[in-house]
Amino acid sequence: MHRISRSILVAATLLCASGLGAQTKAIDWNALSRESESLLAEYLRINTTNPPGNELLAARFLKGILEREGIEAQILDTAELGPNRANLYARLRGNGAKRGIALVHHMDVVPAVPSSWSVDPFSGAIKDGYIWGRGAIDMKGAGIAQLMALIAIKRSGVPLTRDIVYIGNSDEELTSTGGRVFVTRHADLLRDVEYLITEGADNLVENGKVVYFAVGVAEKRTFWQRLTVNGVPSHGSRPTKQNPVPRLVAALYRISQYETPLHVTPGVDKFFRDIARLYPEPQRTWLSNVTAALNDPKAKEWILSDVWWNAFLRNTISLTGLAGSNKTNVIPGVATADIDVRLLPDQDSSEVLRTLQAVVGDTAVHFSTLLSPKTPLESPIDTDLFRAIEKAARDREPTAFVTTPMETAATDRPTYRKLGITTYGFSPFKIPRPEIQRGMHGNDERLSVDNLGYGVRFFYDILRYAQ
């Protein structure tokens, strides 16, 4: 299977290369794959655990590689981001006929507990066909695939109508200061950028076969709230009406009973229509028109029983933090609860807050916003980049389709979307779900050597097709 698909790809490349004019040099994909492998191993050896990050070392490493290839690169924002931290920026120039494409990854990784790993998480070990290390999936592997695709474009001399920008950000895993500082200080570097690709969607791979490639066009927005009730502190042996705890509990109960309205956004509508083919009747019909299905009690119950789909279709509220007295015999002077509210991209946060206050119906319960929502992210689908991804996907996996699930967690994408850039989450790898589940932020994170080579070439084709 592997050998057959590889020879088909070689033939396709020869065909395409001949159409691109005499200057285009053929690429030795096996050699490029080996080169990518050792660079990823080297990248994983640079410990960018956040905190503290130390992304400056990673930025220097990437800058060195880019400069050897004759691609201009800069280390930015060192003063703003603090000691040993930085953002990296590089640009490969096209003829300027169209607007640019940015490839963005974050250079930091989450902490690893070495005793829980079967290899040293910062050894960059290559064994059993995998490159092992913290960040292999999230997201140094993608960072190297983007980098090598860019280098392959440069070396082969593919004519570019769009500049290709390459960005490495610091601090995505903690407070996203890298992306925010970059966008605030260097909006000029992004002025001509039309499209941006970073993380934010997982492909579905079953039994080694890709069912679909996911392009993340939308994500939920965090709108965390703290509810506070003030009272009068006293002794628990003599109950009073000024105990803030029962009042807070009553408010929380009302919120827990409140059902947020269902609402179908464009990317989610497409997602359900796309995956409908995977289901038997009557589910297939339900998913083909999810708006209609939500009016059918049986269909609605089935759709909302999936925790992901439920979150795709409404604002969600999880009651999470609670604080009252820390002594059983003391009535506290104040009681608070933190609730995790997540909004669909097109929701008006102040309206949602007013609704929540009305649901609680008690002016003694004060709401304060702990985390304001970021810029709404719902990128358009009818674009050259989306079509390029679809074409490159069809080349290698003719039976798979490209679809647009909602991201329920938060990424750096809204930060870039704020500048008007069409921003997609996309992974060029075919990683089985259990491997993502186990490795990402977990133990024994690893990326197969085959996947890395596959991803480099996937990005290369996307960039080529999007010209």
Q: How far is the CB of 451 from Zn ion (least distance, A)?
A: 16
Q: Which residue is nearest to Zn ion (CB)?
A: 138
Alpha carbon distance 307, 301 (integer Å): 12
User: Quick one: 169 or 467, whose CB is closer to Zn ion?
Assistant: 169
CA nearest 435: which of 234, 241, 203? 203
Q: How far is the CB of 108 from Zn ion (least distance, A)?
A: 9
Q: How far is the CB of 138 from Zn ion (least distance, A)?
A: 4
CB atoms within 10 A of CB 133: 32
Site of interaction with Zn ion (CB under 5 A): 138-139, 199
Q: How far is the CB of 30 from Zn ion (least distance, A)?
A: 29
| DSSP secondary structure letter of residue 170 | S
Q: How far is the CB of 57 from Zn ion (least distance, A)?
A: 18
User: Quick one: 135 or 453, whose CB is closer to Zn ion?
Assistant: 135
Alpha carbon distance 428, 416 (integer Å): 20
User: Quick one: 162 or 417, whose CB is closer to Zn ion?
Assistant: 417
User: Quick one: 324 or 414, whose CB is closer to Zn ion?
Assistant: 414
Q: How far is the CB of 105 from Zn ion (least distance, A)?
A: 8
User: Quick one: 173 or 194, whose CB is closer to Zn ion?
Assistant: 173
Q: How far is the CB of 139 from Zn ion (least distance, A)?
A: 4
Yes or no: say if 261 and 316 are a contact pair by the CB < 8 Å rule.
Answer: no
Yes or no: say if 177 and 412 are a contact pair by the CB < 8 Å rule.
Answer: no
Q: How far is the CB of 444 from Zn ion (least distance, A)?
A: 17
User: Quick one: 309 or 416, whose CB is closer to Zn ion?
Assistant: 416
Q: How far is the CB of 314 from Zn ion (least distance, A)?
A: 26
Q: How far is the CB of 135 from Zn ion (least distance, A)?
A: 9
DSSP alpha helix (H) spans, 20-72 = 29-45, 55-68
User: Quick one: 138 or 435, whose CB is closer to Zn ion?
Assistant: 138
User: Quick one: 163 or 199, whose CB is closer to Zn ion?
Assistant: 199
User: Quick one: 402 or 436, whose CB is closer to Zn ion?
Assistant: 436
User: Quick one: 139 or 229, whose CB is closer to Zn ion?
Assistant: 139
User: Quick one: 412 or 461, whose CB is closer to Zn ion?
Assistant: 412
Q: How far is the CB of 23 from Zn ion (least distance, A)?
A: 37
Pull the structure tokens for residue 353.
């807050």
Three-state SS annotation for the chain: CHHHHHHHHHHHHHHHHHHCCCCCCCCCHHHHHHHHHHHHHHHHHCCCECCCCCHHHHHHHHHHHHHHCCCEEEEECHHHHCCCCCEEEEEECCCCCCCEEEEEEECCECCCCHHHCCCCCCCCCEECCEEECCCCCCCHHHHHHHHHHHHHHHHHCCCCCCCEEEEEECCCCCCCHHHHHHHHHCHHHHCCEEEEEECCCCCEEECCEEEEEEEECEECEECEEEEEEECCCEECCCCCCCCHHHHHHHHHHHHHHCCCCECCCHHHHHHHHHHHHHCCCCHHHHHHCHHHHCCCHHHHHHHHCCHHHHHHCECEEEEEEEECCCCCCEECCEEEEEEEEEECCCCCHHHHHHHHHHHHCCCCCEEEEEECCCCCEECCCCCHHHHHHHHHHHHHCCCCEEECCCECCCCCHHHHHCCCCEEEEECCCCCCHHHHHHHCCCCCCEEEHHHHHHHHHHHHHHHHHCC
